[in-house]
Copies of this chain bind each other. A is one copy, B any other.
Amino acid sequence: MSVRIAILIFDGLTALDAIGPYEVLSRLPEAELSFVAKEPGLKRTDTGALGISADLAITEIPDPEVVLVPGGEGNRPLLGDDEVLAWLRIAHESSTWTTSVCTGALVLGAAGILGGKRATTHWAYLGRLRELGAEPVAERVVEDGKIITGAGVSAGIDMALTLAARISGEKVAEAIQLGIEYDPAPPFDTGSPQKAPSELVELIRSQEG
């Protein structure tokens, strides 16, 4: 039995938000993973330096078992895009898991999926998440029923390993973690606003939002 996974992409996405989870979830034995977009074709990332192919239109995969929405400044137009939001709402009705990484949660929120739900996003956007009806939680991976949200960018890897265990069991997720040698050793201790010096936090906050 296959598990159809749809990762929604768009111009201006943050690549690692999508590719971190892709690298984990595509290794599930049952995975049938597709990158989808409103219009298929090449999407440029937020830096402009990378093009990623959306192989399918969202209309071609109305009922994936797993939906994943990544972040990036390019997803802000989706917050008012009726076609994309309707696709998400309908996909969420039949999905097994509805997920996001980073500001992808804002799109889930705009679709009305996060009302009253515990959810997370990039640390600089937790306030926006509340405006969209969610209960923001400053944790790396947040589960509320079938909704799993990850914090900023690199948190998609942790989110996806958590999700992999839910889909295929812990043994499979543990093997994938070993396969991608995910034994992180960050060279600095500045990966969260709680740990980083306040001037760095203000710098990033001024660039985001």
Q: What residues make up the interface of A, taking CB atoms closer than 8 Å to B? A: 14-16, 19-20, 22-23, 26-27, 31, 33-35, 42, 47, 49-53, 55, 102, 122-123, 140-141, 151-155, 157-158, 161-162, 165, 170-171, 173-175, 177-188, 190-193, 195-196, 200-201, 203-204, 207-208
Contacts of A162 in B (CB 8 A): 187
Provided the pairs A123-B181, A178-B204 are in contact, do residues A23 and B153 lie with their beta carbons within 8 angstroms? yes
Q: B178, A192: Cβ atoms under 8 Å?
A: yes
A137→B179 CA distance, assembly (Å): 18
Provided the pairs A175-B200, A186-B177 are in contact, do residues A47 and B26 lie with their beta carbons within 8 angstroms? yes
Q: B49, A140: Cβ atoms under 8 Å?
A: no
Contacts of A102 in B (CB 8 A): 181
Contacts of A42 in B (CB 8 A): 42, 53
Contacts of A140 in B (CB 8 A): 183, 185
A42→B196 CA distance, assembly (Å): 38
Nearest Cβ distance between residue A104 and chain B, in whole angstroms? 13
**Which one, B22, B170, B184, contacts A157 given CB within 8 A?**
B184
Q: B187, A173: Cβ atoms under 8 Å?
A: yes
Contacts of A55 in B (CB 8 A): 51
Q: A183, B186: Cβ atoms under 8 Å?
A: yes
**Which one, B178, B182, B201, B208, contacts A200 given CB within 8 A?**
B178
A178→B202 CA distance, assembly (Å): 11
Q: B191, A181: Cβ atoms under 8 Å?
A: yes
**Which one, B22, B171, B188, B196, contacts A49 given CB within 8 A?**
B22
A181→B170 CA distance, assembly (Å): 25
**Which one, B20, B33, B181, B203, contacts A122 given CB within 8 A?**
B181
A55→B15 CA distance, assembly (Å): 16
Q: B196, A192: Cβ atoms under 8 Å?
A: no
